Structure 1
Amino acid sequence: MVVAKSPIELATWPRRDYFYYFTKMMPTGFNVTVTVDITATYDAVKTRGLHFFPIYLYLITQLLSEQPEFMITQEKDQLYHFETLTPSYSLYHQDDDTISGMWTAYSPDLATFYQHYEQDRSTYQNHHGVVVKPNQPENAYMINMMPSLHFSSYTPLSFNGLPNFLPVIEAGQYKVVADRRLMPVSFTIHHAVADGHHVSRFFEKLQARFDEPDKWLNISK
Structure 2
Amino acid sequence: MNDPIPIDVETWPRRQHFEHYRTAVPCTYSITVELDVTTFVAAVRSAMRRTYIAQIWAIASVVNRYEEFRMTLTDSGAPATWSLVHPSFTVFNRERETFASVWAPYNPDFAAFHEAAAHVIAEHAESTRLFPQGPSPRNSFDVSSLPWTAFTGFTLNIGGSWDHLAPIFTLGQYVERDGQVLLPLAVQMHHAAADGFHTARLINELRDLFSDASWVSS
User: Do both proteins adopt the same fold according to a TM-score greater than 0.5, normalized to the shorter chain?
Assistant: yes
For residues 4-43 of structure 1, the aligned pairs below 5 Å read 5-43=4-42
- Alignment match, 1:53: 52
Identity %, equivalent residues: 23
**How big is the shift at 1:77?**
2.6
Cα displacement string for residues 94-134 of structure 1 (whole angstroms, at most 9, x for unaligned residues): 11111111111111111111111011112211221121112
**How big is the shift at 1:218?**
3.2
Q: Residues of 1 paired with 2:169 and 2:115: CA distance? A: 22
- Alignment match, 2:63: 64
Segment of structure 1 superposing worse, 85-94 or 155-164: 155-164
In the alignment of these two chains, the number of paired residues is 217
Contact 1:3–1:138 under 8 Å retained in 2:
no
- Alignment match, 1:87: 87
**How big is the shift at 1:21?**
0.7
Residue type of the partner of 2:191? H
Contact 1:3–1:139 under 8 Å retained in 2:
no
Question: Residue 217 of structure 1 aligns to a residue in which SS?
Answer: helix
For residues 161-200 of structure 1, the aligned pairs below 5 Å read 161-200=161-200
Q: Which runs of 5+ in 2 are unaligned?
A: none
Question: Residue 33 of structure 1 aligns to a residue in which SS?
Answer: strand
Cα displacement string for residues 117-162 of structure 1 (whole angstroms, at most 9, x for unaligned residues): 0111122112211211124210111111111010000011111344
Q: 1:46 to 1:200 in 2, by over 3 A?
A: same
**How big is the shift at 1:67?**
1.4
Residue type of the partner of 1:49? M
Q: Which runs of 5+ in 1 are unaligned?
A: none
Contact 1:29–1:189 under 8 Å retained in 2:
yes
Q: Residues of 2 paired with 1:32 and 1:44: CA distance? A: 27
